[in-house]
Amino acid sequence: MTILSININKIALIRNSRGRNYPDVAAFAARCLDFGAGGITLHPRPDQRHARYSDVAELAKLCQARGVELNVEGYPTPEFLAVVKQYRPAQCTLVPDAPDQLTSDHGWDLDKDAEFLRPILAELKALNIRSSLFVDYTTQDMAKARAIGADRVELYTEPYAETFASDANAAILAGFAAAAQRAQDAGLGVNAGHDLNLDNLGLFLTIPNILEVSIGHAFVVECLEMGMQQVLQNYSRLCTPHAAQ
Q: Could you list the active site residues?
A: 43, 73, 194
Element (H, E) at 138: none
Omega before residue 23 within 30° of 0, cis = yes
- Residue environment code for 62-84, b if the CB has 16+ CB neighbours within 10 A, otherwise e: bbeebebbbbbbbbbeeebbebb
Q: Which amino acid, 175?
A: G
* 3-state SS assignment for residue 63: helix
Burial of 174 (0-12, 13-18, 19+ CB in 10 A): exposed
Quote the CA–CA distance of 190 and 212 in Å, as a whole number.
7
- 165 burial via Cβ count (<10 Å: 0-12, 13-18, 19+): exposed
Please say whether the beta carbons of 11 and 43 come within 8 A: no
What's the start-to-end Cα distance of the chain, in Å? 8
